C-alpha cells in the first residue's frame, strides 16, 4: 500500500468518525416533499409552453391531411356512385 493510499484511508477513517449520520427533522422532510411536489406539478406546463408552437403546427398539419383525405374519399365515392348510376 502506497503512502497516498494510506493518507486517503486515514482521511476516510477520520471523516467517518467525525461525521455522524443525521436524521432530518420531520418539518424539513415535509417542506422538501411539498417543494418537490410543487415543482413536479409545474413541469407539464413548461412542456406545453416550450412546445406550444410545434403542437399547433402539428395539429394544423394533421387537420389539413384529414381534410385532404376526406376530399379524396368524397371524390372517389362520388365517381363510383356516378358509374353505378350510369350502368343502372
Q: How many CA atoms lie within 13 A of 53 on its CB side?
A: 1
Residue 49: inside a domain: yes
More confidently predicted of 1 and 26 = 26
Query: What range defines the domain where residue 64 resides?
Result: 24-87
Residue 60: inside a domain: yes
pTM recorded for the entire structure: 0.42
Residue 80: inside a domain: yes
**pLDDT of res. 49:** 80
Residue 8: inside a domain: no
Number of domains in the chain: 1
pLDDT at 28 over 80: yes
- 13 touches 5 (CB < 8 A): no
Residue 59: inside a domain: yes
- 29 touches 22 (CB < 8 A): no
Residue 4: inside a domain: no
Band (pLDDT 50/70/90 cuts) for residue 59 is very high
Residue 44: inside a domain: yes
Residue 14: inside a domain: no
Amino acid at each position: 500500500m502506497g503512502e497516498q493510499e494510506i493518507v486517503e484511508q486515514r482521511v476516510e477513517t477520520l471523516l467517518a468518525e467525525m461525521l455522524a449520520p443525521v436524521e432530518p427533522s420531520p418539518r424539513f422532510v415535509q417542506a422538501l416533499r411539498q417543494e418537490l411536489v410543487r415543482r413536479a406539478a409545474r413541469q407539464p406546463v413548461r412542456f406545453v409552453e416550450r412546445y406550444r408552437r410545434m403542437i399547433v403546427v402539428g395539429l394544423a398539419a394533421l387537420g389539413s391531411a384529414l381534410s385532404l383525405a376526406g376530399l379524396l374519399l368524397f371524390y372517389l365515392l362520388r365517381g363510383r356512385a356516378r358509374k353505378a348510376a350510369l350502368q343502372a
